[in-house]
Amino acid sequence: MARALGAQAPLSVQIGSDASLRKHGFEGHNNLSFHRRSWNSTSLELKKRNVQLKYQNEVVCMSVQQASKKKVAVQPLELENAKEPPLNLYKPKEPYTATIVSVERLVGPKAPGETCHIVIDHGGNVPYWEGQSYGIIPPGENPKKPGSPQNVRLYSIASTRYGDSFDGKTASLCVRRAVYYDPETGKEDPSKSGVCSNFLCDAKPGDKIQITGPSGKIMLLPEDNPNATHIMIATGTGVAPFRGYLRRLFMESVPNYHFGGLAWLFLGVANTDSLLYDDEFTNYLREHPDNFRYDKALSREHKSKKGGKMYVQDKIEEYSDEIFKLLDGGAHIYFCGLKGMMPGIQDTLKRVAEERGESWDAKLSQLKKNKQWHVEVY
> Would the annotation count 237 as a binding residue?
yes
Say which residue, 360 or 15, is predicted with more confidence: 360
pLDDT at 66: 40
Pairing of β 373-377 and β 332-337: parallel
Q: Are 90 and 213 in contact (CB under 8 A)?
A: yes
Q: Is position 33 annotated in a ligand binding site?
A: no
25 is an annotated ligand-binding site residue = no
What is the structure's pLDDT at 147? 87
Full-model pTM: 0.80
Q: What single-letter DSSP state applies at residue 188? A: B
Domain segments of the chain as ranges: 77-214, 229-377
Say yes or no: domain 77-214 is CATH 2.40.30.10: yes
Quote the radius of gyration of the chain (alpha carbons, Å): 21
Which of 16-25, 87-96, 192-201 reaches the highest mean pLDDT? 87-96
Q: Is 356 annotated as a binding residue?
A: no
CATH of 229-377, one of 3.40.50.80, 3.30.70.100, 1.10.1040.10, 1.10.3720.10: 3.40.50.80
pLDDT band at 6 (very low <50, low <70, confident <90, very high): very low
Helix, coil or strand: residue 240: helix
Cross-strand pairs, 377: 337
Residues marked active site are found at 155-156, 336, 376, 378
Mean pLDDT for 75-103 is 97
Residues contacting residue 325 through CB under 8 Å, at least 6 positions apart: none
